[in-house]
Structure formats: structure tokens, C-alpha cells
Amino acid sequence: MNELTKKAYETWKNADLADEALVKEMASIANDDEAINDRFYKELAFGTGGLRGVLGVGSNRMNIYTVGKASRGLANYINSIAENPKLAISYDSRNNSDVFARRAASIFAGAGIKVYIWKELMPTPALSFAVRELGCDGGIMVTASHNPAKYNGYKVYGADGCQIANEAADRILDEINSVDTFSDYELVDFEEGLKSGIIEYISEDTFNAFMDAVSTQTFIGDDIDKNVKIAYTPLYGTGLRCVTTCLKKNGFTNIEIVKEQATPNGDFPTCPYPNPEIREALEVGLNVAKEVGADILIATDPDCDRVGIAIKQGDDFRLFSGNEVGVLLTDFIAKRKVAMGVMPEKPVVVKTIVTTDLVNRVADDYGIETRDVLTGFKYIGDQIANLEKDGEVDRYLLGFEESYGYLSGSYVRDKDAVNGAYLIAQMFAYYKSENKSLLDVLNGLYEKYGYYLNTLYSFEFEGESGMKKMDEIMNKFRNNTPKDIAGIKILEVRDYETSTQTILGTGEKKEIDLPKSNVIKYMLDGNSCAVLRPSGTEPKLKLYLAISSENEASARELESKIANDIKKSLA
């Protein structure tokens, strides 16, 4: 334990902590150097994703003091850019989310900022919508998205309803670093703030406007039977009211709620990792779907910005990946816009650099431009903003990322699982009216374009030593480019940290016109690729593989070889 860590620990130990749980935790770690080091060796990192960390005591934990320090820094920044500043706040079902939301509101109010806060837990897209609808200068969403129960977090949004960009994050971080954790901010009592009007609950009018905005994304008519049986689980999170209200408002009334996962619960008792990407999280919902005879299960994560689905296949259900759903939605929306006579000129689909290239093939057939952006939905939001700035926002059809995030409208600037659930319900009903399952449609696309297999591996690196290990691994790949992976020739390397694209055969270098990011992408012979990037929200190194082949069997065989070869270098 170094001197800075010791000093941070002593400061917290001598502080008059108002939270009894934090006091108990401080006492419990008194003789545990490793536990002390993990909690105090650094400040909880703040970046374009805001804050995210394990709940608990210390400068490297989520608690009312780290939230308070970040909020005071954000307040200073907002006051520097706005004359009559306003901020919106929402929060999810995680442990202490409501506590952190109120703490932030009290600090913003203490800094003279008008606060609009949802009276009940609300999804991330509802926060993005409220920022724009209420003319706010920014907003925060208290959530750790789909992370395990021990986490919480704090996303920061700009006036455009998009998560903050690098420049704003840097300026906010400077302000945070200038704030003392325990003494540099004034608190307005939350209830007193409501009485004085400096804090105000967001009205039902805004909720209804959000529902109306999502409902504009309608691609089927009343000739399609909407009485399809849908099982839905909010995974103990914020999605229940918004998703069911939207679906019922638009004719989808035959919905079976997974009651065991309907009530908000930050411990996520039946799915300790509340991620709609994984089967373990959906097992309870799948059992309900089987019991009631539903052909589809729709699941949203705790802050309802990601949506996953499972489709009945024989006696069981098949989970669809985010890539598969994104490709299906691209094809469906394009097909329906053409049929409805509303396809815009020069339409645009936006995806991330780790998202399947199959969408490019589908988009090309419809004459749709595909734009690749860095990982993070804020970069998709930036593309929407650019189109809007040019008076061409109607060109935007869909933005999506492989991690189950979708958005087909411009009314918010973040992924929206309310919108995603509505799109999926429409697509499901449309193809059912043609006696097709979504699996039939997907297999049809594979037959037409070839099989595309996308897989993701996550490797955990906890604590200070883990962060160093991830840096070492990335530097090793960055500085020692192999000629091949599992015998598959590397054609080019795209290093987004140095903004350099290198053609290995010729040594030719080109500049990548995207913001810098710690990502390395290998383009392989045979139209496959591998991507390495540290997670921006968890202590994980992520490996994305995209394999193109004639059929599933050959794709999986090739994927296994490539994955095993790269894993050897991660040891």
C-alpha cells in the first residue's frame, strides 16, 4: 500500500460518515491491507460513461460521497456553460439508486441548478427524452445497466440527450478533481427543495409524450393480427410500466408478465447477472413462456436500454443475439418503409465497429448507407445529431450495437429498449401473419448472404493489478502484430488508439477518421475479423470475433481455432 492510498484511507477513517453501512464496512476492513488498497488506491474513474463501480466505502466505490463529489463537479461545469441551468434525473431499481438520485438532486439544487426528477424509477431512454423535452442543460441516469448486483453507476448526459463526449468529460473531471470529497458542496434538503420549487417531479405529460414518441415508430397496419402471445420480463428493473404501456397503446394486449421478476429488486435474486444476453437471466421467463404458450419472450435489462429475445423452437426457445436482431430489424424496417412508400432518399443505418458486417450486405441491397462508429451508443447519437443539424434527420432508419441496443427514432439519443420491444413485437406479428418465425427469416438471410457468426469473450481483471495486466496485454498486441491468427492471414490492423489503419502486405498506412479509443481490430483473410478492447464500464477485456463462412458448422470450427489461438496470448 503506497502513501497516497494510506492518506486516502486515513481521510475516510477520520471522516464523520453519515451512512451507517459505510461506517460498518470501514470497521470491517481495518486490518485488511488488500481490502483497504482496493477501495482507496484510486478515485472511482469518471469518463464519457460517467461513473461505475462496486457499492461500498472508499474513493474507488459507489457511495453517497463519490456520487456527491461527481455531482458537485458536474454542477460546477453546468453552471459554467448555462445561465439558468436545468438538469434532469432518473434512476433504476439497483440498490441505492434512489438514494444516489436524491443526493445528486440535493447537490445540484445547492448549486442553484433547477432539478427535474422522475417520481418513480424510469428507463435510461426516458431520461434522454426528458432532457430534450424539458430543455435541460444535461441529465444523469443512476444505473449500472446490466452489471451484477454489487455495482451501481451514474451516466451523464448533455443537452442533446446524448451521453457526454470526451471534451465535456474532461472538463467535468477537472471540476470533480477540484472538489473536496467531504466539504466542498452545499446540500438542499430534498423535501424542502420540492417545496421551494428548485426540485420538481417530472410530470405525467412528459411520460405520455415519451410514449407518443416511441409510438411514431410504427411499421405495420391494423391488417396485421396483434393478438400474438408475448411473455415479457423487466428483470426486476425499470421497463415494466413503459414497455407494457407502449405495447398495449399500440394494440399488443396479449402480454404475460413474468411476475417473479416484475417487482423492482436490486439484488436480482433469480438472475444475479441481469443481462438479457445470457440464458441464465432468462430461465424464469422462459419457463413462464412455455407455461402460457407464448412463442416469444422479450426481456429488458434493469435500466431498460437493452432488450433481448428468445423465440420458440420446437419444445424449447432459441435466444437471438444482438447482431441477429439488429440485422432482422434493418431488413424489416427497410422492407416496410419501401412497402409503405416512405423510404427516404439516401437512408442511413449506423452501427458500431464490433457489430456484424452482415448488416452492410442487407443495407446495400436496399441502397442504404451504413456508417461504422466506435463502441458506445453516444457515437450513434452523434450521427443522429449530425443528420439533424444538416436538416436530414429523416434519413436515419436505425442505429444498433451488438450488445442488444437499438433505436429507430430521433426522439432520444441513446439506445431504447421500449422502442426495441415495440419494434420486435411488430416484426414478430408481421412475420407470423406470413406463417414465418423470426428464425425462418434469419435463416433466409443466411441463405442469401452466407453465414455470419459473431461471438464475444470477456476476461475479468479485478483490482489494481488487473488494470495493469489489461494494459500490458493491449500493449503487447499493439506493439507485436502477428502475421496470422490460427493460420489465418492478417490483412490489416486498425488501431483506434493511434487512429492508424495498416495494410500488412504493403505496409501502407491510412488515418482512421474516428475519435481515439483503446481498440485493436484485425481484418483476416476470408472476410473475418477479431477485435480487442477493454470494457469502459467493467474490469474486463473483451474479444469480439466475426466469422464469415458458407455455413454454421464451418463458421464455428473456424471461430474455435481463432478464439483458442488468441486466448493463449491473454494468459
CA dihedral defined by 271, 274, 277, 278, rounded to 10 degrees? -20
Question: pLDDT (tens digit, 0 to 9) for every residue of the chain, 571 residues total?
Answer: 889 999 999 999 999 999 999 999 999 999 999 999 999 999 998 988 899 999 999 999 999 999 999 999 999 999 999 999 999 999 999 999 999 999 999 999 999 999 999 999 999 999 999 999 999 999 999 999 988 999 999 999 999 999 998 899 999 999 999 999 998 889 999 999 999 999 999 999 999 999 999 999 999 999 999 999 999 999 999 999 999 999 999 999 999 999 999 999 999 999 988 999 999 999 999 999 999 999 999 999 999 999 999 999 999 999 999 999 999 999 999 999 999 999 999 999 999 999 999 999 999 999 999 999 998 899 999 999 999 999 999 999 999 999 999 999 999 999 999 999 999 999 999 999 999 999 999 999 999 999 999 999 999 888 878 888 999 999 999 998 889 999 999 999 999 999 999 999 888 999 999 988 999 999 999 989 999 999 876 788 999 999 999 899 999 999 999 999 999 888 6
Taken in order 274, 275, 280, 283, the sign of the CA dihedral is positive
Residues recorded for the chain: 571
For 247, list phi and psi in degrees, rounded to 5: -65, -45
Q: What is the DSSP letter of 425?
A: H
Find where cell 461545469 sits.
Answer: 77
pLDDT value of position 166: 85
pLDDT value of position 467: 84
- What does the alpha-carbon distance between residue 545 and residue 560 come to, in Å, rounded to a whole number? 10
**Strands annotated E in 450-503:** 451-460, 484-485, 488-495, 500-503
pLDDT value of position 183: 86
| Active-site annotation, residues | 145
- What does the alpha-carbon distance between residue 89 and residue 206 come to, in Å, rounded to a whole number? 13
| Whole-structure pTM value | 0.93
- What does the alpha-carbon distance between residue 503 and residue 191 come to, in Å, rounded to a whole number? 61
Beta bridge partners of residue 307, listed in sequence order: 300
- Whether the Cβ atoms of residue 256 and residue 188 lie closer than 8 Å to each other: no
Cell numbers standing for residue 458:
470477456
Q: At what angle do helices 463-479 and 33-40 cross, to 10 degrees?
A: 60
Let me know the angle formed at the C-alpha of 119 by 113 and 125, rounded to the nearest 5 degrees: 80
- What does the alpha-carbon distance between residue 39 and residue 17 come to, in Å, rounded to a whole number? 16
Q: What is the DSSP letter of 62?
A: B
Which residue from 453, 519, 530 is spatially nearest to 484, judged by alpha carbons?
Answer: 530
Cell numbers standing for residue 49:
460513461
Stretch (H or E) spanning 109: helix 97-110
- Domains (ranges, CATH) in the chain? 3-210 (3.40.120.10), 245-441 (3.40.120.10), 451-568 (3.30.310.50)
pLDDT value of position 565: 94
